[in-house]
Amino acid sequence: MLSVLERAGCFVAVILMGYLLRRVHFFEKEDFKVISKIVIRITLTASIVVNFSGQTLDYSTLILIPVAFCFGILMMATGYLLGRGKGREEAAFGLLNSSGCNIGNFVIPFAQSFLSPASVMAVSLFDTGNSPICLGGAYSVARSVRDTEHRFSVKPILRTLAHSAPLIAYVVMTLLGIFRITLPSPAVDLARIIGNANPFLAMLMLGVGFELTADRTRIGTVLRILLPRYGIGLALSVCSYLFLPLALPVRQALAILFLSPVSSAAPAFTAEMKGDYGLASAVNSLSILISIVLIVTALILIS
């Protein structure tokens, strides 16, 4: 328990460092995008390669891909239904900012530091099903909800997914695992050196991007989004760990995955939709704080 708290404290310290460095203008707002690109396109992708390399793929774990997709749909539906009575704008906002999980930038660093390689692989497979929701799926549905003239289209989603380095890495490494093909050791060693930087850079990025700029009169909207999300997440976390007939590393992974923050892409998509970016940032930042507490508690109980 003490070791979990110590390492979790280090994660929080890095997030706090990023936030304070932003406050003293060591980092500016624009730097968040640069760090984000490094994390998503380089260090996260490298860590995915390392996590899959040398691991025997259990075909039963492939069920995590549709499970993640269905969880994303459930969160979207929940956000939509809770905001529907307040008009199309609120319904679209709730749908978009309830959707998806911040796995690559948040859950994977925790899994790398606290759980086994098999659990990290399970987290990665879950993110494969989560990616279509986060990288355009929820946004396209939200646009069609808010603007009646906007029709849902799969093409923009596929275009975004095709340019997602982590998703490409997931797919390639999963296929290599299915066909029992291993990468050359120099390639894995290089990926390991790069991937080792992922937990630090991901936590630093969260601190640099942390924002609580929402109008206080809209606290009700924040609660309407986060309370159901974490209520459902907690229930699924407990049930999956205690009752699912899956290997322990997979159940440990699910126990923290269902407690993950809202997708980090949600504020950006909200801005693109000309929605309330400040409120979306507040929802996202608060979800990070809540997830830190819940995931650390879960790790103490299941480790």
We report the CATH number of the domain holding residue 40 as 1.20.1530
Here the tokens at position 231 are: 């209520």
In a domain, 124, yes or no: yes
In a domain, 214, yes or no: no
In a domain, 10, yes or no: yes
pLDDT confidence bin for 163, thresholds 50/70/90: confident
In a domain, 94, yes or no: yes
233-290 pLDDT, tens per residue?
Answer: 999 999 999 999 999 999 999 999 999 999 988 888 888 888 888 888 889 989 999 9
96-142 pLDDT, tens per residue?
Answer: 999 889 998 899 999 988 999 899 999 999 999 998 898 888 888 88
pLDDT confidence bin for 216, thresholds 50/70/90: low
Enclosing domain of residue 244: 2-101+108-209+219-302
Number of structural domains in the chain: 1
Regarding pTM above 0.85, the answer is yes
In a domain, 232, yes or no: yes
In a domain, 289, yes or no: yes
pLDDT, mean of residues 60-84: 93
Rounded distance between C-alpha atoms, residue 232 and residue 252, angstroms: 17
How many residues in total does the chain contain?
Answer: 303
